[in-house]
Structure 1
Amino acid sequence: MRRLAEMQGARSCVPQLLLLSSCVCAAAGYPFRTPLDLDVTPRITVLSSGLQGCRRFQSSAVNYSTMLLEPDSERLYVGARGAVFALNASDISASSPLTIEWEASPEQKRQCLLKGKDNKTECFNHIRFLQRFNSSHLYMCGTYAFGPLCAYIDERRFVMSSQPEEGRDKCPYGPLTGYTGLIIDQQMYTASQYEFRSFPDIRRNSPSPTLKTEDAPTRWLNEADFVSSALVRESLGDDDKIYFFFTEKSQEQTTSYSHSRVTRVARVCKGDRGGRLTLQKRWTSFLKARLMCSLPEYDFHFNMLRSMFVMPSHTPQDTLFYGIFGLEWKKVKVSAVCRFSLSDVQDAFQGPYMENQNSGLKWKEYTGKIPDPRPGSCITNDLRARGINFSTSLPDDVLDFVRRHPLMSQQIQPSDKRPLLFRRTTDYTRMALHRIQALDGQTYHVLYIGTDEGWLHKAVEVNGQLHIIEELQLFDEPQPVNNLLISTKQMSVYVGSPSGVVQLPLSNCHRYTSCYDCIFARDPHCAWNRAQCVDVMAHTDRSTLIQDIQQGNRGCAEISSADVVLRSRSVRVGDDVLLQCELSSNLATPFWTLNDNELQGYGLSSGFRTGTDGLLIIEAQQDQSGLYTCFSVENNINVAVVAYNVSIRLDLPPPPPAEPTEVPYSHPVTPPAPTEHPSSERPLPPPPGPLLPRSELLSPRSMEAMYLSIITILGGLCVVLTVVLIYVGFCLRLGHRGKYSLRTAAAAYPNNKRHKRNRKQHRNSSQMELKTISSHCNGNGICNGVSKQHNSDIQDGGFLQIVPGEGHPSPNKETPPPAPPLPPTLQLPSPGYEIPNGLSATLPSVLRRINGNSYMLLRQSESENTSPNCYSFAEELNKILEKRKHTQLLPRPDESSV
């Protein structure tokens, strides 16, 4: 009675501890508290081995960071470390590419080493700039081992047409320095920190007149890190403008700005010539404003700009800017995508100015008189009519005002006042967009977004939000995406990385095998033609195609689907049965019926566990026989996947004994498969033999002791988690930088040598390790049986869900004996092998989240004070195997497909 009271007391403490942990997480979860509709899960996950239509280019060079592809060009120009390549745009893996070798000289490398630079990364010639100069030549610049040089390329012969020229004012010294550049009408506009001790600068280098930003008395750029630039053609009579996007140190020291760095957009006029006396060889049109990408309901701001893509339109006013934003904390992975309109940017530059008082750090909105013409304006027809034809004709008071007021007061908000997309545990690096008209007549923007681990996310913008269609693993080894380009002519997306270049088709509609699968994808490139999923762009007659981008669930109701696969299972009473049901979509959830009725209840006493990999029948009974059907539920549509005719009987014969084979003891083991017989000539079952005595390890008393130990361990773990989360919240409130995350790991067989070594190494570093066998396939944990390390955050807000096991009281008070050693005579079958009762041999690596519950493994450190009531996974596996060894099954289960 006293022990039963202790168990009840432990049970009552667990919910309280979990509630306390949840409260601490809610208080300390900032910045991880985010609206669920923005933290989008990719619908389909495709590993590198499953990529279709993928072409690759690699060479002895590395760091393929610069690419040039013109709309009608048949060549893709790629700049790498020490080389430039001209690839066939239709197939980059086709013949040997044209190559220009341009390595730094040994003398320049020696000088680089004398400057204290890294001989493995910096003392090389990294191509940082590669663009068209005129109809016959390209222009490129490289770091040249911290001595930048530039050169012209004869496009027809693909050779350097002249000796390299000085590039100190055109190219940065290092390979990682923020940099952007454009060639417009044979004039070069660049932005970077050019020299080691120089200030960041926006320059027009050639031809004359050369211009740059001002440093005194007001510094226009403050530790700026540039990421992108773009030319925007204005209406007739106005001067075209060049926009630069960057992150810099904050100048606005107010209570509303909580970060030391902010994101900016700056603007200069293409026809700017500088001032006559004031601002000589300086921009007279430079203005900058702050870009805001934030979650206003949480008062949280993304203060680092990583990439910007400009989507031009038929009219300049409809131009859109799509930016990737992150956090200043380098160890915290988080990304957001925000969209801005050109009209909002122009409104900010027409708004009030900021003023720096007494050359200090306090900036406030300027409320005094603004001179005429408006400072920072381009030369327009109205000014020409007043006799001001060039910037050199502007009055000195206007130029002096520009010199002291480069910052605008109005902040530029996203189009929908919030991000289009938010992703935890993901650092997006580059982005490209493709505009396509769908069957409903609307034009959709399809985004291709690369990550720092070599994944490519394809998403479509629908009603101000992004739906991630698929995520593609581009490389086996994680590496960042350095560049992204799209060719509508080739219908390809090109990805540059440190190791090579990858070419992929814009869509792969044949991946979807059914009407609903095609419709659920909501891919504007794909539609169902009543037979297969096809590419919309390849069909001129679209009258018979079915597509639904807005809802993703309409159009397939009257389409006859293929017959559902029917399988048979025959098992003995008391055995566990796993009915597998793999769901291809990360957004789908399973739904099971028994004899066409919804399967009720999945609690601890129901005898069922369900998850996205299948249904587990625990200790099957005869009344659980029947027809089990698995449905995939997505977008409120039920689609049958597989059906099982399960027969649970008492009179099943035992399997024939298997011949033992000698294998090393350390190998993982599993029971051998029963001998198969043709279904038409199945032998008569022999009379059932006497059952072997049940192991003491599975006695009710042993289960009770194990349950009590597990509850005690979980209670202690909750206390530890509570203390840790309070500390994390305290650190975050103090502004400490760091990444705090709870991760689940897929369970693995612990009986191999590597596992034993790892346990030995971590014996003193971890007192307890809690692992789940599975998690929901939504970008976290195991997806379709494959561990995805790149996205291992805890689902449902980051809380750890704990599900107790089942315990059975027993009057027996003896301590359970230790588990016997694993038999060395059994051999692990090949992957995918299925034990006759339906329990997959790869169960620990297949099962995922079980509708809010999880199959869980508790592994305690192998210290001397380990409780005898707690067992490692090896011991638990051994008990199951011991139980299976005495289980009587059919020699060959009846299995058929219709």
Structure 2
Amino acid sequence: MTGSYLYLRAAADEKPQDTNSGFFPPLFITLKDSNTKSMAAGFPFRMPLDLDVTPRLTVLSSGLQGCRRFGSSAVNYSTMLLEADSERLYVGARGAAFALNASDISASSALTIRWEASAEQKLQCLLKGKDNKTECFNHIRLLQRFNSTHLYMCGTHAFRPLCAYIHEKTFVMSSQPEEGRDKCPYGPMTGYTALIIDQQIYTASQYDFWSYPDIRRNPPSPALKTEDAPTRWLNEADFVGSALVRESFGSSTGDDDKIYFFFTEKSQEQTTTYSHSRVARVARVCKGDRGGHLTLQKRWTSFLKTRLTCSLPEYDFHFNMLRSVFVMHGLTPQDTLFYGIFGLEWKNVKASAVCRFSLSEVQEAFQGPYMENQDSGSNWKEYVGKIPDPRPGTCITDSLRAKGINISTSLPDDVLDFVRRHPLMSQQVQPVDRRPLLFRRTTDYTRMAALVVQGLDKQMYHVLYMGTDEGWLHKAVDIKGQLHVIEELQLFEKPEPVNNILLSTNQMSVYIGSPSGVVQLPLSDCGRYTSCYDCIFARDPHCAWNGVKCVVVMTQSNRSTLIQDIQYGRKGCENTGYDVVQRSRSVRVGDDVLLQCELSSNLATPFWTLDGSEVQGYDLNSGFRTGTDGLLIIEARQDQSGLYICHAVENNVKVAVVTFNVTISLDLPPPPPTEQTHNLFATVPPPPEPPSSDGARPLLLLSPRNMEAMYLSLITVLGGLCVVLTVVLAYVGFCLRTGQRGKYSLRAAAAAYPSSKRGSRCRKQHRNSSHMELKTVSSHCNGICNGVSKLHNGDIQDGGFLQIVPGEGQTSMNNEPPPPAPPLPPTPQHTSPECEFPNGLSATLPSVLRRMNGNSYVLLRQSDSENTSPLSHSFSEELNRILEKRKRTQLLPRPDESSV
């Protein structure tokens, strides 16, 4: 296939570069051709690199600056209302509502309303089969301003919704709770949205156990709802948001204000190109709708809905689940934008996309063709028949008033009947950019808020704050239709979802509601950027460099000298200085050296130079390895000495981060030994180095590393001997205290061994019972000492096994304790050159650890004789002989570190 290329990656053996945007396991294959669409084998799918954006900075909860928190015994802080005039933040939680100081939510001036469900109501909720740990409580779902003096609050009240008015100044309920089943859902997790407009309550939810989802307007104006027969207007809808757009403002046609509802519902369209079980929708109703006179009585006459698409058609992936929406109001109603968070329909896959829609395109869809369903089934097709006049679903305008239609009840029945059967529009609403602004794998965004910030270049930038299901806040800026994620902030040490986000330009704060409490953060922490380049690379519209530090632009009266580059993030710092960390390293030849270089930006890549030349750290024979944590010098050579500089490359700009002056020498003096080491080996001179075959002396034969390994081996031997000696002495002491048969002795080998030409050096005579002897023989004697293995008197039947036999001492006739054992005499040392170990360690070292088939055993002797063997040697002499023997038998230039 011409022009094809194959992507093959096994994620089982590779760690993703970014945990937040890593591959899904285990294998991903994409085959692409210029004449065909990409085909993905399984999941994950390959996305354009400019969409799968990585946050530039990652800030943990311990590094948050200016963070304030509020919490109480209540949980599930899901409803928030911010009023700039009163500087209050109203919060609704489970069983309580709070009025917080918006400038500092952690202040002690918080006002509280406790509103718990009664024990009787909780019991009735439990009898209905609901969960008494989550559902059978009063969850506040609505908290909004009702008029100039009162707020309105509704709660689930253990599956019996109630509502109440709250006096704003005193923050107490001004009346007894009233019935709320038509204004509030029964459960805390049911999809729900509500608006209070001119003291009229507009809600959308599923209000009862058996009822269908519904969009309602409650009294005192005429109560309206959606139709459910013969054509169901809402099909298992899950509402996520709503918004009022005052389209009558400055309207030349006398149009009415609209209320837009956003939700996900079961699909009604079936086309030849795709089929999805659930789709995202936007619906609208007119604020002045009064219902029909006979047809659609107490029903909406202006209800229309259409589909919101957030997809990548070239990859055949559609994000159908709408999770959250934020309305960005413009200078005019036509400038209104809708930002939506979308997810995939698959519940076991975490992914999110952000799409942006314009109100003008939504209006255009509602002016397009209708869909119809003739057989009341699921096969909806585009309607091609005659459309009655006036156009069904429109609001009352000046042209209708000129015809005598001043209210919806005056609309003709044929128009109302058409609306009743054709609520769905055929034209879908595409994103403004015709693709998502952002796509994030392994991330589920839950809520979003946005604001407009003017940059120093006089352009207006949309800054988005998006919360995740694991308690992270992502801040991003929209640059030319692409989101640049400035930072990700960890809000909580333990993961928990973000329930709500509110922004305040007056307080310069963002407020986040969660199950455990409320968090207040500054809109931007410009002080986090310590250099000009760091401030510019962030591309944060709130921040700029003033020549000394990164500052908040809104706090600066003189902005003429500020530096900011949001469009490209790389200009303006060419003539500014910055500090570079300087370090020195001295190592010896053959060592592996790691030069650490930690980059604060997740978007930066390291670039290393040695004396001004680039370090090639990817060639297997280069002697270098480069990684995200630094540069590794493998088996350092002298020609690798020099000045190493680590640069951070971001937006095609190199910035020096740290320098290393590395000196690599043949050998370095070892660190001064401790007093214990000095006393132990003070008399041991270093052994001479044997010449090599060509007459040259190897430099690393007895290097400090080799000596250190040998010393550690000897110390291990001596430590093992001490352990064995302690066990033997403890056992002997136990035998001496037994007292039933008097003294006991450990008999060792036979009195005589078979003679051989080399066996006499391994033979030990059995002495009288007044002393004891514990004897073992090394297998390295190669059979010379095999006479030990047999004993005619039955004391020891096999070499290496010990037997305790009664001694000749008499049993004491009284209860006096036995006399204490005499002190141990000096241990005699015997040499046995014929039984030396292959590695050069002699069997005659005092307390030496011997080996047989991988098991260790020792030669211990206790005797009442003060005589010592004439063959005994001092410890230093014996150690010298060991080293000399080791020198002649060592074959490798350095010891095997794994064996050491």
Fold in common (TM above 0.5): yes
Contact 2:101 2:109 in 1 (8 A): no
Alpha-carbon distance in 2 for matches of 1:197, 1:102: 27
| One-letter code aligned to 1:313 | G
Aligned to 2:449, the other structure's residue is in SS state strand
Aligned to 1:620: 636
> Superposed, which structure 2 residues align to 1:780-791 within 5 Å?
none
Deviations 1:822-870 (A, max 9, x none): xxxxxxxxxxxxxxxxxxxxxxxxxxxxxxxxxxxxxxxxxxxxxxxxx
Alpha-carbon distance in 1 for matches of 2:617, 2:80: 57
Deviations 1:208-244 (A, max 9, x none): 3100000100000000000000000013421100000
Aligned to 2:654: 638
What displacement does 1:560 show? 2.3
Aligned to 1:397, the other structure's residue is in SS state helix
Contact 1:591 1:631 in 2 (8 A): yes
Structure 1 residue 556 corresponds to structure 2 residue 573:
yes
Alpha-carbon distance in 2 for matches of 1:470, 1:121: 34
Contact 1:177 1:193 in 2 (8 A): yes
C-alpha change, 1:691 and 1:332, in structure 2 (3 Å) is closer
Aligned to 1:831: none
Query: Which of 589, 593, 599 is the aligned partner of 1:583?
Result: 599
Alpha-carbon distance in 2 for matches of 1:421, 1:294: 11
Identity of aligned residues (%): 79
Aligned to 1:316: 333
Alpha-carbon distance in 1 for matches of 2:98, 2:66: 22
What displacement does 1:654 show? 1.5
Aligned to 2:362: 345
Contact 2:589 2:667 in 1 (8 A): no
What displacement does 1:256 show? 2.6
Deviations 1:40-88 (A, max 9, x none): 0000000000000000000000000000012323100000000000000
What displacement does 1:257 show? 3.1
> Superposed, which structure 2 residues align to 1:865-876 within 5 Å?
none
Deviations 1:301-323 (A, max 9, x none): 00100000000011000000000
| One-letter code aligned to 1:351 | G
More displaced, 299-308 or 231-240? 231-240
Query: Which of 466, 470, 477 is the aligned partner of 1:449?
Result: 466
Alpha-carbon distance in 2 for matches of 1:262, 1:327: 10
Alpha-carbon distance in 2 for matches of 1:561, 1:881: 47
Deviations 1:87-109 (A, max 9, x none): 00000001141000000011100
Structure 1 residue 331 corresponds to structure 2 residue 348:
yes
Query: Which of 197, 201, 222 is the aligned partner of 1:184?
Result: 197
Unaligned ranges ≥5, structure 1: 1-13, 662-686, 697-816, 822-879, 887-898
| One-letter code aligned to 1:37 | D
Query: Which of 231, 234, 258 is the aligned partner of 2:247?
Result: 234
C-alpha change, 1:688 and 1:534, in structure 2 (3 Å) is farther
C-alpha change, 1:72 and 1:648, in structure 2 (3 Å) is same
Query: Which of 133, 156, 159 is the aligned partner of 2:146?
Result: 133
Aligned to 1:836: none
Query: Which of 323, 327, 330 is the aligned partner of 1:306?
Result: 323
More displaced, 622-631 or 592-601? 592-601
Structure 1 residue 595 corresponds to structure 2 residue 611:
yes
Structure 1 residue 508 corresponds to structure 2 residue 522:
no
C-alpha change, 1:658 and 1:428, in structure 2 (3 Å) is farther
Aligned to 2:66: 53
Contact 1:653 1:688 in 2 (8 A): no
Aligned to 2:654, the other structure's residue is in SS state strand
What displacement does 1:688 show? 8.6
Aligned to 2:865: none
Aligned to 1:458, the other structure's residue is in SS state strand
What displacement does 1:21 show? 5.8
Aligned to 2:645, the other structure's residue is in SS state strand
Aligned to 1:402, the other structure's residue is in SS state helix
> Superposed, which structure 2 residues align to 1:680-699 within 5 Å?
692=706
> TM-score, normalising length from structure 1?
0.72
Query: Which of 36, 53, 60 is the aligned partner of 1:40?
Result: 53
Aligned to 2:554: 537
Query: Which of 189, 208, 219 is the aligned partner of 1:195?
Result: 208
C-alpha change, 1:568 and 1:204, in structure 2 (3 Å) is same
| One-letter code aligned to 1:272 | D
Contact 2:322 2:340 in 1 (8 A): yes
What displacement does 1:606 show? 1.5
Alpha-carbon distance in 2 for matches of 1:48, 1:117: 36
Deviations 1:389-418 (A, max 9, x none): 000000000000000000000000000100
Query: Which of 400, 418, 422 is the aligned partner of 1:405?
Result: 422
Aligned to 1:278: 295
| One-letter code aligned to 1:234 | E
Greater gyration radius: 2
Structure 1 residue 214 corresponds to structure 2 residue 227:
yes
Aligned to 1:656: 672
Structure 1 residue 258 corresponds to structure 2 residue 275:
yes
Unaligned ranges ≥5, structure 2: 1-9, 15-25, 32-38, 678-700, 711-850, 856-893
CA RMSD after TM alignment: 2.5
Contact 2:617 2:626 in 1 (8 A): no
| One-letter code aligned to 2:458 | G
| One-letter code aligned to 1:692 | N
Deviations 1:306-348 (A, max 9, x none): 0000000110000000000001212100000000000000000
Query: Which of 332, 357, 360 is the aligned partner of 2:377?
Result: 360
Alpha-carbon distance in 2 for matches of 1:351, 1:497: 41
Structure 1 residue 65 corresponds to structure 2 residue 78:
yes
Aligned to 1:348, the other structure's residue is in SS state helix
Aligned to 1:628, the other structure's residue is in SS state strand
Aligned to 1:383, the other structure's residue is in SS state helix
> TM-score, normalising length from structure 2?
0.72
Aligned to 1:468: 485
What displacement does 1:22 show? 5.5
Aligned to 2:301, the other structure's residue is in SS state coil
What displacement does 1:261 show? 0.2
Contact 1:654 1:688 in 2 (8 A): no
Deviations 1:137-167 (A, max 9, x none): 0001000000000000000111000000000
Aligned to 2:375, the other structure's residue is in SS state helix
C-alpha change, 1:281 and 1:523, in structure 2 (3 Å) is same
C-alpha change, 1:881 and 1:358, in structure 2 (3 Å) is farther
| One-letter code aligned to 1:245 | F
Alpha-carbon distance in 2 for matches of 1:659, 1:200: 83
Contact 1:262 1:290 in 2 (8 A): yes
What displacement does 1:441 show? 0.5
Alpha-carbon distance in 2 for matches of 1:187, 1:66: 19
What displacement does 1:370 show? 0.3
C-alpha change, 1:623 and 1:346, in structure 2 (3 Å) is same
Structure 1 residue 153 corresponds to structure 2 residue 159:
no
Alpha-carbon distance in 2 for matches of 1:453, 1:659: 54
Alpha-carbon distance in 2 for matches of 1:262, 1:689: 73
Alpha-carbon distance in 2 for matches of 1:166, 1:629: 71
What displacement does 1:30 show? 4.2
Structure 1 residue 566 corresponds to structure 2 residue 582:
yes
What displacement does 1:604 show? 2.2
Higher RCO, 1 vs 2 (CA within 8 Å, ≥6 residues apart)? 1
> Superposed, which structure 2 residues align to 1:375-524 within 5 Å?
375-524=392-541
Alpha-carbon distance in 1 for matches of 2:44, 2:261: 28
C-alpha change, 1:92 and 1:605, in structure 2 (3 Å) is same
Contact 1:536 1:542 in 2 (8 A): yes
Deviations 1:433-471 (A, max 9, x none): 011100001000000000000000000000000000000
Aligned to 1:800: none
Contact 2:709 2:895 in 1 (8 A): no
Alpha-carbon distance in 1 for matches of 2:676, 2:297: 91
